[in-house]
Structure 1
Amino acid sequence: MELKEYKYKNDKRPIYILGLNVPGSHEVYVNDILIDFENEPSMHNYGADINPYILKSGTYTFKVRVYPTVGEENGITPETAKFIKVSLDTAERNLSGKGGTRTIPDTYQVLQSFSVPKIDKPLPFIDITGSFKIEVPYELEGWNKGQDLSKMD
């Protein structure tokens, strides 16, 4: 079998990230695919790389489910919920290999911030949902030709 070199549509190699500021355990989904989770009960401030789950340019949905932290036996309190932040961020991929980072410095930017539901009483979990549109310089077959095995005999 002969492997052909993949041709990109342009010279940019953006990395798309769901920026998260989340107190406690949480799960992150893109188009209903679990892409990240954390069970540590401490504050998390990081970015979940979503490029591996993006097959082509288009509109995608996400869900971040946040669970109570230590000491919140009755659920996530309104005070804790104020700390939750979710955004769609981007940066240019560092293709040179110099500098030891995955992204080019000074290219990181927030594209979109998402609203977090306001709560007035403790809840067993909070879902932050939304959609975003992105442009990537590739188109992958991925699971586009997949079949729903639950509908097969």
Structure 2
Amino acid sequence: MKNILAILILLMFNINCTDKMEKNQNKSLDRKVSQVPIEKQISYGLEINAPIPVTIYFDDIKISEKNTPLNTVVELNPFILKNGKHKVKIEVNPLFRSSETFVKPDNLKNIRIQFVSYIWNKETDNVSNYITNTNLQLTTVKESLPYFAQEWEVEVKDLPYDLEGWSKGQDLSKINHKDLEINVVAYYQKLRSLMNNGDFASYRNLWAVADQELMVFDYQTKDSYTKAVEENKLDFKKCKNAMIPLEDFEMRLHADGKMVSLERKTHTREFNAESPLDIKGWSPLIRKYKVSGGASYGVKLYLPQNSNEFVIIRK
């Protein structure tokens, strides 16, 4: 489960609140954890084994685009607001690195996707009750295609929480596209400035709403929360004077228009002297490593009803 731990660490990098708010959140967190016994702290995920890159959507939210083969569990709890029916979708595009223009049947036949659930004890880092709920089988393809997509319905039954998330957000698809993009880009520019200037306190404050929900869906304990905050603080220092310009991006709507994000739009064969490295699909908030390569920091925004101020709701 090291891959799941890595996802958690990346997600926890985006825990943001003032010192006063942090103390209040810790108290709230203790109450939440005490209300949910470990045997009820269920997590859902997609176990994916794919020899080629795939793009994954959950309830019309793009949750993963890896330009390398996958052999991991993609965590779903951040994107599940409540129990019920949900949709999983994958897309497969022609292999950029091989300069292919079609998806071949052989590209698809070895992809394996399972809808799984498990209990992850944050105190011991042990995983138990690992269950395959559904095998999501791909349709057999006999001819090459410009791209491949398939969708399944899965059922979530055992979550002990019900979150609001973006469910009451405005429908951003009804806002003029150009005006919306101007405002989204301005928000990202603000984030980039805070990161490049090393202003951790201000940056964290913008993540307060997302943090409150993270503590619920990730069943955080006070110790794990505090440890992650300290690790994130150290990691954030590396962003100072290391953020590249906000460029080569496109705007993407998620969750049937309730969320919005920016992502890099052009394939690359190398980035910052690391080859091969394709950063298409990354958040444009990118930190260059000192030697080669880099890391991106995802941000998904929503617009509450009767408000003109975006709120960060997920990474």
With 49-58 and 143-152 compared, the bigger mean Cα shift is at: 143-152
With 72-81 and 4-13 compared, the bigger mean Cα shift is at: 4-13
Residue 117 of structure 1, CA deviation: 1.3
Larger RCO (CA under 8 A, 6+ residues apart): 1
Match for residue 28 of structure 1?
56
CA RMSD of aligned residues (A): 2.3
With 142-151 and 130-139 compared, the bigger mean Cα shift is at: 142-151
Answer yes or no: is the 8 Å Cα contact 1:25–1:39 preserved in 2.
Answer: yes
Distance 1:141 1:68, change over 3 A: same
With 117-126 and 69-78 compared, the bigger mean Cα shift is at: 69-78
| One-letter identity of the residue aligned with 1:49 | E
TM-score, with length taken from structure 1: 0.82
Partner deviation per Cα, 1:45-96 (whole Å, 9 max, x = no partner): 211101000011111001011223344724222222110111101110214x
TM-score, with length taken from structure 2: 0.42
Match for residue 39 of structure 1?
67
Residue 107 of structure 1, CA deviation: 2.1
Residue 110 of structure 1, CA deviation: 0.8
2:113 equivalent to 1:91: no
Distance in 2 of aligned mates of 1:115 and 1:71: 26
Of the candidates 100, 104, 108, which is equivalent to residue 81 of structure 1?
108
Partner deviation per Cα, 1:114-135 (whole Å, 9 max, x = no partner): 1201111111222121011112
| One-letter identity of the residue aligned with 1:139 | D
Report matched runs for 1:4-153 at 5 Å: 4=28, 5-6=31-32, 10-11=36-37, 12-40=40-68, 43-69=69-95, 70-71=97-98, 73-95=100-122, 97-98=123-124, 101=125, 103-104=126-127, 106-134=128-156, 135-151=158-174
Distance in 2 of aligned mates of 1:8 and 1:50: 23
Structure 1: which 5+ runs fail to align? none
Structure 2: which 5+ runs fail to align? 1-20, 177-315
Aligned sequence identity (%): 29
Distance in 1 of aligned mates of 2:91 and 2:79: 18
Residue 109 of structure 1, CA deviation: 1.8
Which of the pair is proportionally richer in helix? 2
Residue 14 of structure 1, CA deviation: 0.9
Distance in 2 of aligned mates of 1:149 and 1:76: 32
Distance in 2 of aligned mates of 1:139 and 1:127: 30
SS in 1 for 2:32: coil
SS in 2 for 1:147: coil
Which of the pair is proportionally richer in strand? 1
| One-letter identity of the residue aligned with 2:82 | K
Answer yes or no: is the 8 Å Cα contact 2:52–2:107 preserved in 1.
Answer: no
